[in-house]
Protein backbone atom coordinates (compact mmCIF):
# COMPACT_ATOMS: atom_id res chain seq x y z
CA UNK A 1 0.00 0.00 0.00
CA UNK A 2 1.44 3.35 -1.07
CA UNK A 3 0.40 6.98 -1.29
CA UNK A 4 -0.73 9.57 1.23
CA UNK A 5 -2.25 8.10 4.36
CA UNK A 6 -5.55 9.91 3.80
CA UNK A 7 -5.99 8.68 0.23
CA UNK A 8 -5.91 4.90 0.11
CA UNK A 9 -8.19 1.99 -0.58
CA UNK A 10 -9.22 -0.19 2.35
CA UNK A 11 -11.16 -0.16 5.59
CA UNK A 12 -10.63 1.58 8.93
CA UNK A 13 -12.53 0.70 12.11
CA UNK A 14 -14.05 3.88 13.53
CA UNK A 15 -16.24 4.09 16.65
CA UNK A 16 -17.57 0.57 16.38
CA UNK A 17 -17.82 -0.09 12.65
CA UNK A 18 -15.69 -0.52 9.55
CA UNK A 19 -15.78 2.45 7.18
CA UNK A 20 -14.12 3.24 3.87
CA UNK A 21 -10.55 4.45 4.38
CA UNK A 22 -11.19 7.90 2.88
CA UNK A 23 -14.32 8.37 5.00
CA UNK A 24 -12.49 8.04 8.35
CA UNK A 25 -12.59 11.77 9.07
CA UNK A 26 -12.73 14.10 12.09
CA UNK A 27 -13.76 17.75 12.42
CA UNK A 28 -11.14 20.52 12.59
CA UNK A 29 -12.43 21.44 16.06
CA UNK A 30 -11.66 17.99 17.44
CA UNK A 31 -10.28 18.58 20.94
CA UNK A 32 -7.26 16.31 20.43
CA UNK A 33 -6.09 18.35 17.45
CA UNK A 34 -5.86 21.46 19.64
CA UNK A 35 -4.91 20.08 23.06
CA UNK A 36 -3.21 16.71 22.39
CA UNK A 37 -5.85 14.73 24.29
CA UNK A 38 -4.97 11.56 22.41
CA UNK A 39 -3.34 8.19 23.12
CA UNK A 40 -2.34 5.45 20.73
CA UNK A 41 -0.71 2.08 20.21
CA UNK A 42 1.61 0.75 17.52
CA UNK A 43 1.44 -3.00 16.96
CA UNK A 44 2.60 -5.53 14.38
CA UNK A 45 0.82 -8.54 12.99
CA UNK A 46 2.96 -11.47 11.89
CA UNK A 47 1.43 -14.32 9.89
CA UNK A 48 -2.03 -13.05 10.77
CA UNK A 49 -1.46 -12.72 14.53
CA UNK A 50 -0.82 -9.46 16.40
CA UNK A 51 2.14 -9.84 18.73
CA UNK A 52 1.07 -8.99 22.30
CA UNK A 53 -2.17 -7.58 20.92
CA UNK A 54 -4.13 -7.80 24.15
CA UNK A 55 -1.31 -6.22 26.14
CA UNK A 56 -1.37 -3.30 23.69
CA UNK A 57 -5.14 -2.94 24.13
CA UNK A 58 -4.75 -2.88 27.89
CA UNK A 59 -1.99 -0.29 27.67
CA UNK A 60 -4.22 1.88 25.50
CA UNK A 61 -6.74 1.89 28.34
CA UNK A 62 -3.99 2.68 30.86
CA UNK A 63 -2.76 5.62 28.76
CA UNK A 64 -6.29 7.00 28.42
CA UNK A 65 -6.71 6.82 32.18
CA UNK A 66 -3.46 8.73 32.65
CA UNK A 67 -4.96 11.48 30.46
CA UNK A 68 -8.20 11.45 32.45
CA UNK A 69 -10.56 9.87 29.94
CA UNK A 70 -12.13 6.46 29.44
CA UNK A 71 -12.32 4.53 26.17
CA UNK A 72 -15.90 3.34 25.51
CA UNK A 73 -14.74 -0.10 24.34
CA UNK A 74 -13.20 -2.89 26.42
CA UNK A 75 -9.78 -4.35 25.71
CA UNK A 76 -11.46 -7.48 24.33
CA UNK A 77 -13.62 -5.38 22.02
CA UNK A 78 -10.51 -3.54 20.82
CA UNK A 79 -8.82 -6.89 20.17
CA UNK A 80 -11.78 -7.98 18.05
CA UNK A 81 -11.77 -4.69 16.15
CA UNK A 82 -8.10 -5.06 15.29
CA UNK A 83 -8.74 -8.55 13.94
CA UNK A 84 -11.64 -7.18 11.89
CA UNK A 85 -9.39 -4.54 10.35
CA UNK A 86 -6.76 -7.09 9.36
CA UNK A 87 -9.41 -9.36 7.82
CA UNK A 88 -11.20 -6.55 5.99
CA UNK A 89 -7.95 -5.38 4.42
CA UNK A 90 -6.59 -8.84 3.69
CA UNK A 91 -3.45 -8.31 5.77
CA UNK A 92 -1.43 -11.03 7.49
CA UNK A 93 1.76 -9.02 8.03
CA UNK A 94 1.02 -5.41 8.91
CA UNK A 95 1.44 -2.51 11.28
CA UNK A 96 -1.67 -1.81 13.37
CA UNK A 97 -2.48 1.61 14.81
CA UNK A 98 -5.16 2.07 17.47
CA UNK A 99 -5.81 5.65 18.53
CA UNK A 100 -8.27 7.09 21.07
CA UNK A 101 -8.99 10.78 21.50
CA UNK A 102 -11.35 13.42 22.81
CA UNK A 103 -13.45 14.44 19.85
CA UNK A 104 -15.48 17.49 18.92
CA UNK A 105 -18.35 18.33 21.25
CA UNK A 106 -19.81 21.10 23.40
CA UNK A 107 -16.41 21.96 24.94
CA UNK A 108 -13.67 23.78 23.05
CA UNK A 109 -11.36 25.00 25.77
CA UNK A 110 -8.75 23.24 27.83
CA UNK A 111 -11.51 21.37 29.69
CA UNK A 112 -13.40 18.85 27.56
CA UNK A 113 -15.20 16.48 29.91
CA UNK A 114 -18.43 16.70 27.90
CA UNK A 115 -16.84 15.77 24.59
CA UNK A 116 -17.15 12.19 23.28
CA UNK A 117 -14.16 9.86 23.36
CA UNK A 118 -13.55 8.30 19.97
CA UNK A 119 -11.54 5.29 18.85
CA UNK A 120 -10.10 4.31 15.48
CA UNK A 121 -8.04 1.35 14.30
CA UNK A 122 -6.14 1.23 11.04
CA UNK A 123 -3.55 -1.11 9.56
CA UNK A 124 -1.10 -0.96 6.71
CA UNK A 125 1.84 -2.90 5.34
CA UNK A 126 5.11 -1.50 6.65
CA UNK A 127 8.64 -2.82 6.24
CA UNK A 128 11.74 -2.12 8.34
CA UNK A 129 11.25 1.11 10.32
CA UNK A 130 14.90 2.05 9.87
CA UNK A 131 15.33 0.63 6.36
CA UNK A 132 18.70 -1.02 5.71
CA UNK A 133 19.91 0.07 9.17
CA UNK A 134 18.19 -3.12 10.35
CA UNK A 135 21.18 -4.99 8.95
CA UNK A 136 24.16 -2.64 9.09
CA UNK A 137 23.37 -0.61 12.20
CA UNK A 138 21.54 2.68 12.63
CA UNK A 139 23.25 6.02 13.05
CA UNK A 140 21.81 8.22 15.81
CA UNK A 141 22.09 11.91 16.52
CA UNK A 142 21.88 13.21 20.10
CA UNK A 143 18.73 15.27 20.58
CA UNK A 144 18.85 18.76 22.05
CA UNK A 145 15.55 18.09 23.86
CA UNK A 146 15.27 16.02 27.02
CA UNK A 147 12.69 13.56 28.30
CA UNK A 148 10.64 15.42 30.95
CA UNK A 149 10.26 14.77 34.65
CA UNK A 150 7.31 12.62 35.84
CA UNK A 151 6.26 15.70 37.82
CA UNK A 152 5.50 17.56 34.58
CA UNK A 153 3.55 15.12 32.40
CA UNK A 154 2.25 11.49 32.51
CA UNK A 155 5.49 10.03 31.18
CA UNK A 156 4.36 6.38 31.20
CA UNK A 157 1.38 6.98 28.92
CA UNK A 158 1.72 6.44 25.19
CA UNK A 159 0.28 9.87 24.56
CA UNK A 160 0.44 11.97 21.41
CA UNK A 161 1.70 15.07 23.22
CA UNK A 162 4.85 13.29 24.37
CA UNK A 163 5.92 12.82 20.76
CA UNK A 164 6.17 16.50 19.81
CA UNK A 165 9.87 16.63 20.71
CA UNK A 166 10.34 13.27 18.99
CA UNK A 167 9.18 14.66 15.67
CA UNK A 168 11.44 17.69 15.94
CA UNK A 169 14.42 15.60 17.05
CA UNK A 170 13.97 13.04 14.28
CA UNK A 171 13.73 15.79 11.66
CA UNK A 172 16.97 17.29 12.97
CA UNK A 173 18.64 13.86 12.94
CA UNK A 174 17.55 13.07 9.40
CA UNK A 175 18.90 16.43 8.24
CA UNK A 176 22.30 15.23 9.49
CA UNK A 177 22.04 11.90 7.69
CA UNK A 178 21.04 9.95 10.80
CA UNK A 179 18.21 7.45 11.24
CA UNK A 180 17.05 8.70 14.62
CA UNK A 181 18.00 10.66 17.73
CA UNK A 182 18.83 9.65 21.28
CA UNK A 183 17.29 11.56 24.18
CA UNK A 184 18.81 12.22 27.55
CA UNK A 185 16.33 12.64 30.40
CA UNK A 186 15.73 15.74 32.54
CA UNK A 187 18.59 14.68 34.85
CA UNK A 188 21.08 14.12 32.03
CA UNK A 189 20.92 10.31 31.95
CA UNK A 190 20.59 8.33 28.71
CA UNK A 191 16.88 7.76 28.08
CA UNK A 192 15.60 6.45 24.72
CA UNK A 193 15.34 7.15 21.00
CA UNK A 194 12.36 9.00 19.50
CA UNK A 195 10.25 5.85 19.27
CA UNK A 196 12.36 3.04 20.68
CA UNK A 197 14.13 1.90 23.84
CA UNK A 198 17.88 1.37 23.89
CA UNK A 199 20.24 -1.39 25.08
CA UNK A 200 24.03 -1.56 25.40
CA UNK A 201 26.47 -4.48 25.76
CA UNK A 202 29.71 -4.54 27.71
CA UNK A 203 31.76 -7.60 28.72
CA UNK A 204 28.90 -9.97 27.92
CA UNK A 205 26.36 -8.10 30.07
CA UNK A 206 23.54 -5.83 29.01
CA UNK A 207 22.82 -2.33 30.28
CA UNK A 208 19.58 -0.46 29.60
CA UNK A 209 18.24 2.80 31.05
CA UNK A 210 15.83 2.48 33.95
CA UNK A 211 12.39 3.32 32.49
CA UNK A 212 11.46 5.67 35.31
CA UNK A 213 10.58 8.68 33.14
CA UNK A 214 9.69 7.22 29.76
CA UNK A 215 7.63 4.43 28.24
CA UNK A 216 8.62 0.92 29.35
CA UNK A 217 8.05 -0.59 25.93
CA UNK A 218 6.44 -3.99 25.48
CA UNK A 219 9.26 -4.96 23.12
CA UNK A 220 11.76 -3.77 25.73
CA UNK A 221 10.11 -6.00 28.32
CA UNK A 222 10.07 -8.93 25.88
CA UNK A 223 13.76 -8.55 25.07
CA UNK A 224 14.73 -8.31 28.74
CA UNK A 225 12.87 -11.57 29.28
CA UNK A 226 14.71 -13.18 26.37
CA UNK A 227 18.07 -12.09 27.76
CA UNK A 228 17.30 -13.43 31.21
CA UNK A 229 16.17 -16.76 29.73
CA UNK A 230 19.66 -16.98 28.22
CA UNK A 231 21.26 -16.27 31.61
CA UNK A 232 22.58 -12.93 30.35
CA UNK A 233 22.81 -10.39 33.14
CA UNK A 234 20.70 -7.28 32.55
CA UNK A 235 21.38 -4.04 34.40
CA UNK A 236 18.39 -1.67 34.39
CA UNK A 237 19.98 1.49 35.71
CA UNK A 238 20.79 5.15 35.16
CA UNK A 239 23.43 5.51 32.45
CA UNK A 240 25.58 8.60 32.01
CA UNK A 241 26.22 9.73 28.40
CA UNK A 242 30.00 9.36 28.72
CA UNK A 243 29.55 5.67 29.53
CA UNK A 244 28.67 5.07 25.88
CA UNK A 245 32.38 5.25 25.06
CA UNK A 246 32.93 1.96 26.89
CA UNK A 247 30.01 -0.01 25.45
CA UNK A 248 30.75 -2.50 22.68
CA UNK A 249 27.33 -3.10 21.14
CA UNK A 250 24.03 -1.29 21.03
CA UNK A 251 20.50 -1.93 19.76
CA UNK A 252 17.06 -0.36 19.77
CA UNK A 253 13.75 -2.08 20.54
CA UNK A 254 10.20 -1.16 19.67
CA UNK A 255 7.15 -2.50 17.88
CA UNK A 256 8.08 -0.59 14.74
CA UNK A 257 11.85 -0.88 15.23
CA UNK A 258 11.68 -4.54 16.37
CA UNK A 259 15.34 -5.17 17.32
CA UNK A 260 17.57 -2.83 15.30
CA UNK A 261 21.35 -2.68 15.80
CA UNK A 262 23.01 0.70 16.28
CA UNK A 263 26.40 1.44 14.74
CA UNK A 264 26.92 5.02 15.89
CA UNK A 265 25.54 7.57 18.36
CA UNK A 266 27.11 10.99 17.98
CA UNK A 267 30.87 10.35 18.28
CA UNK A 268 30.45 6.87 19.81
CA UNK A 269 30.77 3.76 17.64
CA UNK A 270 29.48 0.22 18.22
CA UNK A 271 29.91 -3.11 16.50
CA UNK A 272 26.97 -5.15 15.26
CA UNK A 273 28.13 -8.04 17.41
CA UNK A 274 27.12 -11.62 18.12
CA UNK A 275 24.72 -10.84 20.99
CA UNK A 276 22.93 -8.17 18.98
CA UNK A 277 22.51 -10.55 16.05
CA UNK A 278 21.37 -13.39 18.31
CA UNK A 279 18.69 -11.33 20.04
CA UNK A 280 17.50 -9.79 16.79
CA UNK A 281 17.19 -13.24 15.22
CA UNK A 282 15.51 -14.74 18.27
CA UNK A 283 12.99 -11.90 18.38
CA UNK A 284 12.15 -12.45 14.70
CA UNK A 285 11.43 -16.11 15.46
CA UNK A 286 9.41 -15.33 18.59
CA UNK A 287 6.99 -12.92 16.95
CA UNK A 288 6.32 -15.40 14.14
CA UNK A 289 5.93 -18.45 16.35
* CA angle centred on 158, ends 160 and 5, rounded to 5°: 50
Helix (H, G, I), strand (E, B) or coil at 87: helix
As a whole number of angstroms, the distance between CA 278 and CA 133 comes to 16
Q: Give strand pairing partners of 101.
A: 38, 118
C-beta neighbour count of 264 within 10 angstroms? 16
As a whole number of angstroms, the distance between CA 248 and CA 206 comes to 10
C-beta separation of 6 from 22 below 8 A: yes
C-beta separation of 21 from 13 below 8 A: no
Residue spans of beta strands (DSSP E) within the chain: 11-14, 17-20, 38-46, 49-50, 94-102, 117-124, 138-147, 180-185, 190-193, 197-202, 205-209, 234-237, 249-254, 258-265, 268-269
Which residues are part of the catalytic machinery? Answer: 158
As a whole number of angstroms, the distance between CA 149 and CA 89 comes to 41
Amino acid sequence: MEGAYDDRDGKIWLDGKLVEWRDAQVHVLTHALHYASSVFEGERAYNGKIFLGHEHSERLHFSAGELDFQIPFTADEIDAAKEAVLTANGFTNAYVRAVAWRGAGPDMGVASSRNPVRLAIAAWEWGNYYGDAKMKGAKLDIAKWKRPSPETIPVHAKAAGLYMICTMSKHAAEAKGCSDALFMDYRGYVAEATGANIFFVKDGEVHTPDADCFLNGLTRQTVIGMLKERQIKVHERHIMPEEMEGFEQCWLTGTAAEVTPVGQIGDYNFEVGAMTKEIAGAYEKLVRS
